[in-house]
Chains A and B, each alone.
Chain A
Amino acid sequence: MHARDTAGAGSGARAGFDTARPGAKTVLGAAEIRRALTRIAHEILERTDGAADVVLLGIPTRGVPLAHRLADRLSQAEHGAEHGLVPVGSLDVTMYRDDLRLRPARTLGHTDVPPAGIDGRIVVLVDDVLYSGRTVRAALDALVDLGRPRAVQLAVLVDRGHRELPIRADYVGKNLPTSQREVVRVLLGETDGQDAVLLSEDGGGA
């Protein structure tokens, strides 16, 4: 039994491998990711009345840096401050997944709920790719055990379709029509040394 983070623990070596993979196409570059996040931040401000009660929770691995980037943009746009005004944390959903018995036991990610908690707040879940919707389902269950938010919303950088559950995103960076054989990889500076969204044919990897 080997515990392995199949969701992808970030490593520079792997990032290089992905860019080098033949046929891997860059769908979003660094500038486009930056613009998409800025737009999402403004949409959050609009929809939540200035993000006063918002708590951002990133889903490990890559949802966490995305949540921090969004929190910085929210603080800046609404308060003119660099960061620190919008509570941000992480929510590991491993123990709530429905596919645990299909794979070796996975390494747990880190859960870090802001000290003020989530009761009565608007929780915005942040993830990199929305695909089957199963991760989000697990996240909703995990949230219930942490408290009772007033509302839960979902922000994703990429929505690649192929939902298997009745789940949709409230904020989407880019809708990316894909076939199920294709692989979408999100690379972020914090975990992979560069910002990019890559699309490739299934090479047995990812």
Chain B
Amino acid sequence: MNRHLISAADLSRDDALLILDTAEELAQMADRPIRKLPTLRGRTVVNLFYEDSTRTRISFEAAAKRLSADVINFSARGSSVAKGESLKDTALTLEAMGADAVVIRHGASGAPHRLAGWVRGSVVNAGDGAHEHPTQALLDAFTMRRRLGRLEGLRVAIVGDVLHSRVARSNVRLLHTLGAEVILVAPPTLLPVAVGSWPCEVSYDLDAALPKSDVVMMLRVQQERMNAAYFPTVREYSRRYGLDSSRMALLPEHAIVMHPGPMNRGVEIAADVADSVRSTIVEQVGNGVSVRMAVLYLLLGGSEAQR
């Protein structure tokens, strides 16, 4: 494994499986009376969040704390960033504080990559612009493997706002590495220009894709990133690309419904679908902690010389 986790494309098949297997062992810890391991005692993990996030930041924080690392939370709002400090100067400050790992979320694609050149510790990408969100893809793969028992040969439909979605990008790359078949389903306006070069199929028709899918992953419509009219009305989007219970009935019996959260209930996913037994949405949150523990352990748990 590399010293940093910036893109799902950095992970070989063996790396990815090692993370998933490690997470599987760590997931057992959730049932124990004492949910803490001494492994990263004395190491410092900085959560550097330039964009708002609840679940990812809390998930990384819980993961680091369960491994006994010290956690410093840094959010751009109310910090010197608001006074105009550059990413580089913030990075040098963190470096001086002795951060062993920096978990970064940033609105600009490529920010974690730049950061990796400035700090000695490991950099973990927690979402950069519309680029990647590798730990989300890992936890999604982990959830699929737990529910369906395998990843090889699974057919996964990723539906909705692919254009603005770092989750979709990371998932396509990781699932391809792990041997699953991905089909992206979205209106043409919400697909990136270069989607033809991705290792997946593309479709505009959700109803046709559903009956042959083992997993359907609904993406959030990221209205805060939409600076143009990508579809006529929310109602029309919802009617063609939203998952309601009649659409869910088209899925094979064993199929699961995923969503990276936060959800827009009633837009891309109907409330009764989100709360159904097929939905793994709450499970994904719990699995996120296990997967992030595995990533932090594998990046920080070993010797410095190897990193």
Contact B38 A96 (CB under 8 A): yes
A26 to B128, CA, bound (A): 58
CB contact list, B1-43 vs A, under 8 A: 1-3, 18, 21-22, 25-26, 28, 32-34, 36-39
Contact B25 A3 (CB under 8 A): no
Also in contact, A106 and B302, with CB within 8 A (given A2-B1, A3-B1, A3-B18): yes
**Residue of B28, B36, B300, B302 ringed by the most chain A CB atoms within 10 A:** B302
A104 at the interface (CB under 8 A from B): yes
Q: B116 to nearest A CB, angstroms?
A: 15
Which of A69-77, A124-132, A140-148, A177-185 sits within the interface? A140-148
Contact A107 B302 (CB under 8 A): no
Count of residues in B whose CB is under 8 Å from the partner chain:
27
Contact A108 B26 (CB under 8 A): yes
List of A residues within 8 angstroms of B21 by Cβ: 107-108
**Can you list, as one digit per residue, whether each of A88-131 has a CB less than 8 Å from chain B (1) or not (0)?**
00001001100011111111111100000000000000000000
A107 to B26, CA, bound (A): 12
List of A residues within 8 angstroms of B33 by Cβ: 145-147
A146 to B67, CA, bound (A): 16
SS class of chain A's interface: helix, strand, loop or mixed?
A: loop
List of B residues within 8 angstroms of A145 by Cβ: 32-34, 36-37
Contact B298 A111 (CB under 8 A): no
Contact B297 A105 (CB under 8 A): yes
Q: B299 to nearest A CB, angstroms?
A: 8
CB contact list, A1-44 vs B, under 8 A: 1-3
A102 to B301, CA, bound (A): 10
Also in contact, A101 and B298, with CB within 8 A (given A1-B1, A111-B28, A141-B38): no
Contact B1 A95 (CB under 8 A): no
Residue of A nearest to B67 (CB): A95
List of A residues within 8 angstroms of B18 by Cβ: 3, 107
Also in contact, A103 and B302, with CB within 8 A (given A1-B2, A145-B36, A147-B33): yes
Q: B34 to nearest A CB, angstroms?
A: 4
Q: Which of A102, A108, A144, A146 contacts B25 (CB 8 A)?
A: A108
B306 at the interface (CB under 8 A from A): yes
Between-chain CB contacts (< 8 Å), 8 pairs: A101-B303, A103-B303, A103-B306, A105-B297, A107-B22, A145-B36, A145-B37, A146-B34
